[in-house]
Structure 1
Amino acid sequence: MAETKAPYFLGIDVGTQGLRSGIFDLRGNVVALSFYSYPEYHPRPGWAEQDPIDWWKAVQDTVRRCIYEGEIQPEDIASISVSASSCTVLPVDRFGNPKYRAIMWMDVRAFDQAARINATENPILRYAGGHESPEWMIPKALWLKENLPDIFANSDFIVECQNWVVYKLTDRWVTSLNNAICKWNYCPTEDGWPVSLLRDLNFEEVLQKWPREIIPVGKPVGELTKRAAHELGLIPGIPIIQGGIDAYAAMVGLDVVHPQRLAIVIGSSTCHMALSETPIFSKGIWGPYQGAVLPDMWILEGGQSSTGSIIKWFSDNFAAQECKEACDIGESLFDVLDKIAAQVAPGSDGLIVLDNFQGNRSPYQDPLARGALWGLSLSHTKAHVLRAMYEGTAYGTFHILEVLAQDGFDVQEMYASGGGARSKLWLQIHADVTNVPIYLTTVEEASTLGTAIYAAVGAGFYNNIPDATLKMVQISGQIYPIKENYEIYRFYYDKYIKSYFSMKDLMHEISTRVNRNQNSARSH
């Protein structure tokens, strides 16, 4: 580890499966990292919930461990920032006490509400790729009103996870401009709050339940309270700097703060973020979002609902023994999986995988789409299946890049982070399929680093985010496309695209029937 010295910046990253806190110095060197896992609850198909009390326990545990393991003094923490997965929605009273478990970002119970929002054809939806997601704030808040009216009525605020953790640190209810623009339909170029859309829905009352003070990322929110300082083992008065959505913090932690670059964050799902100097309206791509991270830049966002989760599904069901043996000798999961998949040549001898295991986020925005594996023969092995999964998820990324290119945005470089970035073979396949080089950074936890960069900027140690990333993000490696593999993959990518349209109606029929049967079984 590089030699580090004060001042230090604390980034808190509230994720899906757990919370990570990290302490970094002015050069972006890691001083300490700590992770705390917590459970998810799935009371019905398509539902996903968490207990906010688990988030706060995780903050306490990880911050205290970072201070201890980093062997630093609490007074050397110059500033703190918080980012979180979104849109995880929570009804609370004015003191932050939850009225209901948090409805996680992946929860799609508000499918009907989102459909009604889309039916309005309100002009603001063009800034959402033309299609509101049931994952977002307005559909979930509307679901609360219609299905839990007492909870909705008796809640002082309807907030996100990020708002809640910031309140716990500062006793202030504020909204991150990043979250508001990207998940709450707030649009700076269209008079701000989505009043006309809410009027179409007869739902203007929700405006009274949102924290109305909006603060951009990298700007001060307040100071750490005495109570919070005591619980975290810190000193009161430390500046709290506004963060936002974790994937966007990862974009900053990867130095994707310049046009023509794309951040690809490969976790259970994959997020794709890029900056543009002009607004680009691509159907099926979220945005364009003006000023969500940098004041004069627009963000374009694509995403795949299932990527790392598909690989985990494979390893749990078909490679458990190999993974256990590797763990026993200290090998990583991806070391094992890469060895298995490397036995097979590009194209997987004709196997095609559709990566829509949890629906398609971009560009089809089709929650009823499902995964598929076709082209099987008796000569295929589990190595072929794994390689085809690596390739199918890379095809999904290439599809998003092609949609962006058709609308005038040409990606020239990709910067990768997330658990999936630990697989060199999977990254090589992404580079080969897309014909775009991939760059890796020294700090794998790009979201935590990006959040700490917000803290450093907000405390005045750098003039702006690009100045900070220039000093705090270091490139550690490059992966270049192999031309002959790209030519092979062009053929199979064409079949991947055609597969969705050939199977779309069948997938919808199956999904609808399965969902109906599951709901019927639960009701009995």
Structure 2
Amino acid sequence: MQSSDNNNNHVFLGVDVGSGSSRAALITASGKLLAIYSTPFSTSRPAPDYFEQSSDEIWASICTSVKAAFALSKVDLTQVRGIGFDATCSLVAYSAGTPDTARPVSVSPSSNFEDDSRNIIMWCDHRAKDQATRITETHHDILKNIGGTMSLEMELPKTLWLKENMPKERWQNIGRLFDLPDFLTWKATGDYYPSRCSVVCKWCYKAGPESGESPSHIANQGWPGDFMRQIGLGEIADDDFQKLCGVGNAGQRVHFAGEHIGGLTKRAAEELGLVEGTAVGGAVIDAYAGAIGTLGARLKGVQATVDEAHKRISMICGTSSCHLVMSNKPIFVPGVWGPFHGVMLPEMWVAEGGQSSTGQLIDYITKTHPAYNEALRQSQSTTPAVSIYEHLNQHLEALAKKLFLGNAAYLTRRLHMTPDHHGNRSPFADETMRGSISGLDLNSDTVDGLAVQYLATIQALALGTRQIVGALTRAGYTIETICISGGLSLNRVFVKVLADVMQMPVVLPGSGGDAAVVMGAAICGAVAYESKLRGPEADMEGMLWNAMARLTEASDVVEPERDLALQRFYDNKFHVVQKMQEDQREYNKIMMRGL
């Protein structure tokens, strides 16, 4: 950054909105984490596969988190020079207008679309299955940038569902449909300048060279009008996409990660407890914030180059998992989203693999087990008390020792799992796939049985990552290191199993695994300030990477065991998982006979 940016009095704010809470973090100009605070918000689940939230509640939780972070840090609010936002890729419905005049619009059929407090369809909401299938069946050229299959977690299937299921007058009340990160920057600045990350990754916005041709794109960029008409959203195209972006293809301006959008409005500044005009940067999806907070990490004080970053994959493990890898050319991988141009570093392409349920799956397997309450009681009765997951980690070690096993991994020699309980995002892009367990016995209902099923779940998730990375490497990516963040990066057994299954070192971020995502948002805040100083025509190339490499470092590197027997064990389990997935497809074919 410019010399003025190195002033130790300068502070940058990151705001992260996850699936169930908002977090605010303050960092110094040297990358030191000063304070972090989290505030929960609610999710409504009115029907199976329906997940709804409130943008008003989320914004209120952000304001609480920001003020609390300042109270913890004792930083003067005038020291904050830039703000970065990240959020889940959830769909927000609003009427037209400014942040002062516009109002939420209900997306909830259980309230007959009258409860406007429920105006967000969460990323994990699977109501739009039919719409996603129909979009895929168009075989439009733009789909090759999302692995050939439209995911029902993206925004267009959800948008089409709203059009087809809302009363006409309610649908017409929607003036703007936001990706949640872009809603936050609009709420903060009053200007709807969407992020390149959001619109390219989740809306099929066309950006970058060599990413497919379409006659409806202006200079091969922008919203694909022919595609929108083909899938049934022609009225949005006919209105020059005002419902999506407000300024249409002709004058559209999308922003790179962290690029200066504008300053805080008076009202937003008052609500957040900040100074009016503070620089706000282009937002990113939460997974990309995790990548920003980890991929540039210094190892043993040595700053990484962009070329080295090509060999690193960012793995953000929370409720779900995202796997992000960069390249300097477009590489297409069936079942993997992307390549997306300029959605993180302006000059780079990004491919995005993922697992729809990771932390959520571990929670589900653990909390629905008959021995859960007993294991929880045991975890709370220790001195000091530990989480149930740390208790299970310790229990696995004791059980392996009792059975004279050289590694706790061998406890699952006859217990196997596929992790597709919420569908398979990558590499199969098949939401109809389901999880399965093989090898249960009559002792499976004990705490021992719970511990082993918990371990089998972790192994299944790691083996799923191996499938994703295998698809990427076969297509031409070179991946040698995993940079992990998110809540599961704090689980030592999960990290060690991942390293052993992948036979790759796993890098843990210096900010702490659960803070890396909001750290990435704060880095975007630092970039916002620098790009503001450089002016509206500033070249963004290199700006974000320089901030990533300077402001982040690794806290630890977990190396894999180089034990041949353990490697053969995981190779065998990998083949079992593949066979179980193949068998499930065959079961489905059998059950369709005569129907």
Matched residue of 1:45: which SS?
coil
Residues 285-300 of structure 1 mapped to structure 2, 5 A cutoff? 285-300=336-351
| Residue of structure 2 aligned with 1:271, choices 310, 322, 333 | 322
Query: How much does 1:88 deviate?
Result: 2.9
| Residue of structure 1 aligned with 2:157, choices 133, 139, 146 | 139
Matched residue of 2:9: which SS?
coil
Matched residue of 1:414: which SS?
strand
Corresponding residue of 1:99? 105
Q: Deviations over 1:179-225 (max 9, x none)?
A: 01100101213422222211222423321211243111111111111
Residues 275-424 of structure 1 mapped to structure 2, 5 A cutoff? 275-318=326-369, 319-327=372-380, 329-342=384-397, 343-344=399-400, 345-347=408-410, 348-378=412-442, 381-424=449-492
Matched residue of 2:354: which SS?
strand
Matched residue of 1:346: which SS?
helix
Q: Deviations over 1:400-456 (max 9, x none)?
A: 011111111131000111111111111111111111110101112111011111111
Structure showing greater Rg = 2
Query: How much does 1:85 deviate?
Result: 0.4
Between the aligned partners of 2:588 and 2:232, the Cα distance in structure 1 is 34
Residues 1:210 and 2:278 aligned together: no
Q: Which amino acid aligns with 1:309?
A: Q
Corresponding residue of 1:172? 191
Count of residues in Structure 1 that have an aligned counterpart in Structure 2: 508
Q: Is the 8 A contact 1:128 1:287 kept in 2?
A: yes
Q: Which amino acid aligns with 1:99?
A: V
Query: How much does 1:508 deviate?
Result: 8.4
Corresponding residue of 1:36? 39
Query: How much does 1:145 deviate?
Result: 1.1
Residues 1:113 and 2:147 aligned together: no
Residues 1:492 and 2:573 aligned together: yes
Corresponding residue of 2:228? 198
Q: Deviations over 1:267-325 (max 9, x none)?
A: 11111111011111110011011111112211011111111112112332333333344
Matched residue of 1:483: which SS?
coil
| Residue of structure 2 aligned with 1:230, choices 224, 249, 270 | 270
Corresponding residue of 2:65? 62
Q: Which amino acid aligns with 1:178?
A: C
Query: How much does 1:368 deviate?
Result: 1.7
Matched residue of 1:339: which SS?
helix
Between the aligned partners of 1:198 and 1:317, the Cα distance in structure 2 is 42
Q: Which amino acid aligns with 1:331?
A: V
Matched residue of 1:470: which SS?
helix
Query: How much does 1:121 deviate?
Result: 0.4
Q: Which amino acid aligns with 1:340?
A: H
Matched residue of 1:34: which SS?
strand
Q: Is the 8 A contact 1:341 1:386 kept in 2?
A: no
Corresponding residue of 1:21? 24
Structure 1 residues not aligned, in runs of 5+: 512-524
Query: How much does 1:378 deviate?
Result: 4.7
The change in CA–CA distance for 1:177 and 1:327 in structure 2 (over 3 A counts) is farther
| Residue of structure 2 aligned with 1:481, choices 548, 556, 560 | 560
Q: Which amino acid aligns with 2:182?
A: N
Q: Deviations over 1:75-126 (max 9, x none)?
A: 0111111111013342433234111121110111111111111111001100
Q: Is the 8 A contact 2:182 2:283 kept in 1?
A: no
Matched residue of 2:34: which SS?
strand
Q: Is the 8 A contact 1:223 1:239 kept in 2?
A: yes
Q: Is the 8 A contact 1:83 1:249 kept in 2?
A: yes
Q: Is the 8 A contact 1:91 1:102 kept in 2?
A: no
Q: Is the 8 A contact 2:92 2:183 kept in 1?
A: no
Between the aligned partners of 1:30 and 1:509, the Cα distance in structure 2 is 56
Query: How much does 1:333 deviate?
Result: 3.9
Q: Is the 8 A contact 1:253 1:450 kept in 2?
A: yes
Between the aligned partners of 1:298 and 1:54, the Cα distance in structure 2 is 35
Corresponding residue of 2:529? 459
When the two chains are superposed, the root-mean-square deviation of aligned CA atoms in Å is 2.0
Corresponding residue of 1:51? 54
Between the aligned partners of 2:450 and 2:72, the Cα distance in structure 1 is 42
Matched residue of 2:409: which SS?
coil
Corresponding residue of 2:9? 6
TM-score normalised over the length of structure 2 = 0.82
Matched residue of 1:44: which SS?
coil
TM-score normalised over the length of structure 1 = 0.93
Between the aligned partners of 1:134 and 1:383, the Cα distance in structure 2 is 33
Q: Is the 8 A contact 2:19 2:319 kept in 1?
A: no
Corresponding residue of 1:221? 261
Matched residue of 2:178: which SS?
strand
Between the aligned partners of 2:231 and 2:354, the Cα distance in structure 1 is 27
The change in CA–CA distance for 1:415 and 1:510 in structure 2 (over 3 A counts) is farther
Q: Is the 8 A contact 1:87 1:183 kept in 2?
A: no
Q: Which amino acid aligns with 1:384?
A: V
Between the aligned partners of 1:505 and 1:146, the Cα distance in structure 2 is 34
Q: Is the 8 A contact 2:197 2:344 kept in 1?
A: yes
> Which deviates more from structure 2 when the two are superposed, residues 421-430 or residues 93-102?
93-102
